[in-house]
């Protein structure tokens, strides 16, 4: 088994699973019915992507299934970005978190679509269509909130400011990222400037201020997480750990 490739696939799957779970917490609690449904569908997109990545990873590790990766690992075995496990707090925080990640995710998928690895490129091609919509959704809401009322402007600016330090981890390569850069051209250093231009243009259009911070938040890719991930896994893994090997 190629350990670096396997870890990279798990990394992608964990990002999708944890963000999908966080967004799913809005189901039945959205600010209006239309956005409640939209957020639920976006959460399902992420969970569906996680399944594809985990299924691919399972083919590389005999005896494993997608459920093993989702339900039977501990906190330190997860490789998701720290940003994605942060709490929703309010609608503005949910939008800010998705906005930062969606733009990064789309850039990654754009490269993976033609990376030369057939399995990954097929997943990326399918996910790219979904994430293109995610980008439009979160970007449009950043603009609506930023250029809306004084209250909405204040809330989305606060969320962007608080979450910005976590975006440094997008471009801090793990060993798996370094492998993908050398083997398949998924070079995070090249994507950083593209991401910054896209995000800054949208933030400016929303009449908001682009945050800056000297204190990057790192460690998720190496299994060093905030306490928030533990609470997510307690809920996510409850049924499987309470009733092992249960089926519908």
Q: Give the model confidence (pLDDT) of 22-74 as tens digits.
A: 999 988 877 777 787 889 999 999 999 999 999 999 999 999 999 999 999 99
pLDDT over 80 at 247, yes or no: no
Q: Give the model confidence (pLDDT) of 66-98 as tens digits.
A: 999 999 999 999 999 999 999 999 999 999 999
CA 35, CA 215: separation in Å to the nearest integer? 33
Into which CATH architecture does domain 3-242 fall?
A: Up-down Bundle (1.20)
**Residue 182: CA atoms inside 13 Å, Cβ hemisphere, count?**
9
Q: pLDDT grade, residue 214 (50/70/90)?
A: confident
The whole-number pLDDT of residue 248 equals 64
Q: What is the mean pLDDT of residues 139-168?
A: 97
């Amino acid at each position: 088994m190629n350990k670096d490739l396997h870890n990279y696939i798990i990394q992608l799957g964990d990002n999708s699973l944890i963000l999908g779970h966080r967004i799913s917490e809005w189901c039945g609690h959205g600010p209006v019915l239309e956005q409640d449904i939209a957020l639920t569908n976006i959460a399902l997109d992420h969970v569906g992507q996680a399944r594809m990545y985990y299924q691919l990873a399972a083919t590389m590790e005999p005896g494993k299934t997608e459920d093993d990766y989702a339900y039977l690992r501990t906190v330190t075995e997860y490789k998701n970005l720290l940003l994605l496990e942060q709490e929703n707090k309010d609608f503005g925080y949910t939008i800010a978190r998705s906005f930062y990640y969606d733009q990064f995710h789309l850039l990654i998928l754009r490269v993976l679509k033609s990376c030369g690895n057939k399995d990954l490129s097929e997943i990326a091609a399918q996910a790219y269509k979904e994430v293109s919509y995610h980008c439009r959704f979160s970007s449009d809401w950043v603009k609506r909130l930023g250029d809306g009322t004084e209250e909405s402007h204040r809330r989305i600016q606060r969320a962007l400011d608080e979450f910005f330090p976590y975006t440094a981890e997008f471009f801090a390569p793990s060993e798996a990222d370094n492998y993908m850069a050398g083997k398949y051209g998924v070079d995070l250093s090249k994507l950083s400037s593209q991401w910054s231009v896209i995000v800054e243009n949208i933030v400016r259009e929303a009449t908001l201020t682009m945050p800056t911070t000297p204190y990057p938040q790192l460690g998720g890719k190496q299994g060093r997480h905030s306490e928030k991930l533990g609470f997510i896994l307690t809920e996510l893994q409850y049924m499987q750990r309470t009733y092992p090997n249960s089926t519908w």
